[in-house]
Amino acid sequence: MYRRSLGAHVRASLEYEADFWILVFGVGLSQCVGLVFIGAVFAKVPHINGWGLWEVVLMYSMMTIGQGCSELFAEGSWDLPMLVNRGELDRMLVRPYPVILQVCSFRLGMNAFGTLAVGTVLLVTALARLHVHWTPARAAIALLVFASALVVKVSLTVIANASAFWLRGTISTFAAGADQLGDLTRYPLTIYGVGLRAFLSTAVPFAFVGFFPAAWVLGHGQSAWVGLLTPLAAAYCVTVAVLAFRFGLRRYDSAGN
Amino acid sequence: MDEPLIRARALTKTFRRPDKGPGLAGSARHLITRKYTEHHAIDGIDLDVAAGEAVAYVGRNGAGKSTTVKLLTGILVPSSGEVRVAGVVPHQDRIANARNIGVVFGQRTQLWWDLPVRETFTLLRDMYRIPPERYRATLARLTEVLDLGPLLPVTGRKLSLGQRMRADLAAALLHEPPIVYLDEPTIGLDIEVKDRVREFLRDLVANGTTVLLTTHDLGDIEDVCRRIVIVDGGRIIHDGPLAAVRDELARERSMHVQPAVPVDLAAIRAALPGTEVSGEPGEFSIRFDRFAYSAGQVAAAVMGLAEIRDFRIDEPGIEDVVRRVYEGGLVESPTGAPA
């Protein structure tokens, strides 16, 4: 059902083919800006806090793919403030399907395809440059860790937007701010102070999107093992997202008549 | 089953409204000292609806009609009181309840805005897990009755209001729910579409579907419902058979007459004591109690004085009935001013 809803949106958007390609191109361009920055930094210094260029690109790519997944699977959550304030959630509440999924599939971020393409190219290139000793077990765990990392990212987007149940503004300023915190974890977590590090790995575990999974795959640093906790972080984030919706819906007042 | 299909007891819903002063200063002050006014949208409603009943739920704007529907459908959580619909507590077991009900909001579409109507229907088919043969049969029936054929390939946003309402009705009924809530289903529609929707609703009721219809267009209910519940200020102020309400409060009729030549209105007043005659000698209206005079008697009296070119009798709208309830015709005036 969820897939069908998204699929229908893709078909609807593809009717405007030119728009589609412009979007894909535009997004690719915006992602490249971040890369140019990384390139510029590494042109001057060979390492940031012991992390090399391709290691940072790996983290960066995970975050980018995560963002693409959010755009693909949870873009509708950005409409939550509008849905809540205009009482548009009513129609979802009278349907026998979890509201959280109806909201997430309410819209499709067409940039998703551009973001995912850029992210994937970066990921593949970085992994090719970095000499990781792959064994079947290691590859299997890496897949699980990466998949969990993406779940963390998507859930955090949904949680940030669920704030709309409590904050009655019509624009998701808070959510956008919270989401941008994630950009901090495009770079090695070790460059930040203890407080920020703790914050980004526990309360708002953005570090589990890029940094910890990458550190584990690379076996880099003393805390590389933390990457193995990514599935736990994912379970935690999904639970919080579901609970946020459950409690949020109890507060939902609908609107007008 | 002894329990009525829909059962509400002492149901209340209270909204808290921020009590802001005017302007930016007021808003800023509100950030610091929060004050709220409580607004009882629904203030202790008891309602039983038996399976197969068609109930009109009537009231002015802000009387609490829509809030009641939102409580019964599980959209809102009640502040206190109990509600059960087909044995399910709607706000606790929202998904189980959603399978039993169909909901139409006149003011708000439930179609996917950017998808063709056909796609919306397919999504709903999957959502309700309607078996394919069943879906095909239901869709074919609804397509025929509501004339949806030309609408199926059109996206939601491109439909006119009337088309949208027809598609919305189908979207609410695809899964053949035993209970249907209609919240102002004919609002803003032109007469032709209104009639079609009403006819459709009559058939729905005839087929045994339980219907709760909120409206302030009283033409809707005369066609469809036998029972009328009148709400005001969040309370039920009347609940009974529609016909009784009409006999009790809608005794007055008006006959509008155009005589061939102007007549003396005083003569008509003299011929029909107890009626109220207003207008011009060339075109006038006679208001009469239908238990005191029959329409035939009034017409005969007029014809005795003048040749009639044209005349028309206004049946009392339920609108008048409701107004008279509000004026104190049935019950003591309700507490709390509506919004």
DSSP assignment of A103-128 equals HHTTS--THHHHHHHHHHHHHHHHHH
Chain A positions in Cβ-Cβ contact with residue B127 (cut-off 8 Å): 1, 95-97
Task: Tell me how many domains chain B contains.
Answer: 2
Chain A positions in Cβ-Cβ contact with residue B66 (cut-off 8 Å): 256-257
pLDDT at B336: 38
pLDDT at B50: 92
In a domain, B328, yes or no: no
Residue A187, φ and ψ in degrees, nearest 5: -120, 160
At B39, list the tokens.
């607004």
Chain B positions in Cβ-Cβ contact with residue A4 (cut-off 8 Å): 122-123, 126
Q: Do A94 and B66 touch (CB under 8 A)?
A: no
In a domain, A256, yes or no: no
Mark which residues 75-134 of B lie under 8 Å from A by CB: 75-77, 94-96, 98-99, 101, 103, 105, 107-110, 112, 114-115, 119, 122-124, 126-128
**Nearest residue to A215 via CA among A66, A67, A50, A11:** A50
Q: Do A94 and B74 touch (CB under 8 A)?
A: yes
pLDDT at A238: 95
B171 and B259 assigned to the same domain = no
Mean pLDDT of A91-116: 86
In sequence order, which residues have a C-beta less than 8 Å from that of residue A45 and are 6 or more positions away? none
Residue A252, φ and ψ in degrees, nearest 5: -60, 130
In a domain, B332, yes or no: no
Mean pLDDT of A180-203: 86
B241 and B284 assigned to the same domain = no
In a domain, B334, yes or no: no
In a domain, A257, yes or no: no
Whether residue A254 lies within 8 A of chain B, CB to CB, comes out as yes
Whether residue A52 lies within 8 A of chain B, CB to CB, comes out as no
**From residue A79, how far is each of A104, A169, A172, A208 by CA, in Å?**
9, 12, 8, 26
Q: What angle (nearest 5°) sits at the alpha carbon of residue A46, between those of residues A65 and A149?
A: 20
Whether residue A16 lies within 8 A of chain B, CB to CB, comes out as no
In a domain, B323, yes or no: no
B91 and B121 assigned to the same domain = yes
B141 and B93 assigned to the same domain = yes
Q: Do B114 and A1 touch (CB under 8 A)?
A: no
Mean pLDDT of A24-32: 75
Whether residue B70 lies within 8 A of chain A, CB to CB, comes out as yes
Whether residue B145 lies within 8 A of chain A, CB to CB, comes out as no
Q: Do A96 and B110 touch (CB under 8 A)?
A: no
- Measure B262 CA to nearest chain A CA, in Å: 49
**In chain B, which ranges are continuous DSSP H helix?**
23-32, 65-72, 94-100, 117-127, 132-146, 161-173, 191-206, 219-224, 242-249, 265-271, 295-303, 318-326
Band (A209; pLDDT cuts 50, 70, 90): very high
- Print the domain residue range for A35: 2-251
**What CA–CA distance (Å, rounded) separates B203 from B146?**
12
Mark which residues 157-196 of B lie under 8 Å from A by CB: 183-184
Q: What is the mean pLDDT of chain A?
A: 85
Say which residue the tokens 């067409």 belong to. Answer: A110
Whether residue A82 lies within 8 A of chain B, CB to CB, comes out as no
CATH number of the domain that residue B310 is part of: 3.30.70
Pairing of strands B6-18, B36-49: antiparallel
B48 and B150 assigned to the same domain = yes
B224 and B279 assigned to the same domain = no
Task: Tell me how many domains chain A contains.
Answer: 1
B73 and B205 assigned to the same domain = yes
Whether residue A94 lies within 8 A of chain B, CB to CB, comes out as yes
DSSP assignment of B300-328 equals HHHHTTS-EEEEEEEPPPHHHHHHHHHTT
In a domain, A136, yes or no: yes
Instruction: Show the low-confidence residues of chain B (pLDDT under 50).
Output: 1, 331-339
Which of B77, B98, B115 lies nearest to residue A94, judging by beta carbons? Answer: B98
Does the pLDDT at position A185 exceed 90? no
B262 and B207 assigned to the same domain = no
- Print the domain residue range for B307: 251-315
In a domain, B338, yes or no: no
pLDDT per position as a tens digit, B163-212: 888 899 999 999 999 999 998 888 878 888 888 888 888 888 998 999 99
Q: Is ipTM over 0.85?
A: no
In a domain, B329, yes or no: no
B89 and B158 assigned to the same domain = yes
B283 and B186 assigned to the same domain = no
B85 and B114 assigned to the same domain = yes
pLDDT at B330: 52
Whether residue A1 lies within 8 A of chain B, CB to CB, comes out as yes
pLDDT at B177: 93
**Nearest residue to B120 via CA among B183, B170, B73, B163:** B170
Q: Do A94 and B73 touch (CB under 8 A)?
A: yes
Q: Do A90 and B105 touch (CB under 8 A)?
A: yes
pLDDT at B230: 87
In a domain, B88, yes or no: yes
pLDDT per position as a tens digit, A4-14: 777 777 776 66
Which of B123, B127, B184 lies nearest to residue A8, judging by beta carbons? Answer: B123
What is the percent of chain A with per-residue pLDDT over 70, rounded to a whole number? 93
At A41, list the tokens.
């930094």
B55 and B142 assigned to the same domain = yes
**Nearest residue to A65 via CA among A104, A128, A117:** A117
**Nearest residue to B287 via CA among B261, B312, B253:** B253
CATH number of the domain that residue B137 is part of: 3.40.50.300
pLDDT per position as a tens digit, A159-184: 999 988 888 766 677 888 888 888 88
pLDDT per position as a tens digit, A119-135: 999 999 999 988 888 88
In chain A, whose CA is at the least distance from the CA of B107?
A: A257
